[in-house]
Chain A
């Protein structure tokens, strides 16, 4: 192209072409940029709600297929395979329990030796009945196609969240981030909420219950699903969730009001403080009596539902 331009007698160097292209690229990018257009919010909320429903559906369908296929190969249902999706995959690809041979399983799956042997032995000694598997296999295919759609949707949501709320997404991941956005109503609204409200987003029902029954008020809503809280000792959870909700509030503000990318830093700070909390409070507090009272109350209210 440089040659063709020079042929017509225009004096332009590669350096100049490059500079102009860079400027053009930058200004084209800036033009189409409109911050927090609101388009993302709507999509994020639709996608996370759909994901939620798909997950429930897969669980529900899987319970059903376990029961149905259990007529044929109950041992697989009862003991060996806990993962729902893997279970449907086995039914779809292998089907009849007579085909659960070492070769077939190794060819299509990657089981550990122990599980592999267990499946093969159980299939040879199964107490199940011979039934027509055609409909069950179609049902398994249906579950798998829902699962396929679910993972794709999850990937798309991940991408959308990384673009729309990079700080929040780095801090707590796309799924929890999206649930927070959905619960607050929009990215803007989330950015405006105080940390104490963020801490309870998604726990509204539990909060209401605690007001009625005067049980101890719940400490965490959606953020309770964050691995750092789930895996924490019970007496650390309250502290960690206060800490995290503060950072979430900051991340959402950064996402909505600025272009700064500080998610990694926020996450580091959270992890460091968690270590500190662990060091400072190695043992559970000694209010054991009161606690057990509360606990039994909670249990009761659960049963009533």
Chain B
């Protein structure tokens, strides 16, 4: 087999790519060598392991492939991750913020248990069992304010979850990446109206919309929104 030519992403720190631009593949450098999280493929190259990052499994990878301007992740970023699930995306973020920190909140006990099993040797992930709608519940574990809130929760009330968590934990000027699924809010409204309603609620809480990206082709009916506090 020919080794893919893996090279750094031109814009994003610690994100790697291979292939031509129309068939770009994404990778992150495995922080926890020897372990895979969700059966992802691993490419070995000079002592390093590169984990293939699947845009159909991870909406952040989809955002990147759909051409987002920024992902607001640097080596030292501190991130609050809402809807951590069993660890697909959070593990790639953990690779990227190699000297940073991620608080991963998840409501499902089973998913979190899986996350803990998968990521216990990753020092930069702190798992938190909690409901993202009631962020004060987990205040004892979030010991410093965060630079970024990454929100991918399957819940109808996206805007309020973002606002409450931003109020408590996000730095002034900090960023939010969140995903809105048209269907999980109101089935009888048109997707456009749903997105608009959520955006209006976010704006009315003084969150500034920086960018909107449709990732429908990777995750049906989803829109990614970047905001600033």
Contacts and interface: CB of A to CB of B under 8 A. Distances in A.
Interface of A: 1-2, 17-19, 21-22, 24-26, 28-30, 32-33, 85, 89, 108-110, 144, 147-148, 151-152, 155, 158-159, 162-164, 166, 259, 261, 264-265
B interface: dominant SS: loop
25 contacts: A17-B143, A18-B123, A18-B126, A22-B123, A26-B120, A28-B129, A29-B112, A29-B116, A29-B127, A29-B129, A30-B113, A30-B116, A32-B129, A33-B109, A33-B113, A89-B188, A148-B187, A158-B154, A159-B108, A163-B109, A259-B110, A259-B113, A261-B86, A264-B39, A265-B39
B221 interface: no
A24 B141 contact: yes
Contacts of A158: 154
B192 to A, nearest CB: 9
Interface in B126-140: 126-129, 140
B101 A18 contact: yes
B18 interface: no
A164 B110 contact: yes
A2 B143 CA distance: 8
Nearest to A26: B116
A22 B127 contact: yes
A2 B144 contact: yes
Interface residues of B, number: 32
Contacts, number: 83
Contacts of B128: 25, 28-29
A33 B107 CA distance: 12
B68 interface: no
Contact of B126 (A25, A152, A162, A259): A25
A17 B188 CA distance: 48
A2 B183 CA distance: 43
A156 to B, nearest CB: 9
Nearest to A163: B108
B174 interface: no
A21 B190 contact: no
Contacts of B154: 155, 158-159
Contacts of A162: 108, 111
Contacts of B143: 1-2, 17, 21
A126 B111 CA distance: 55
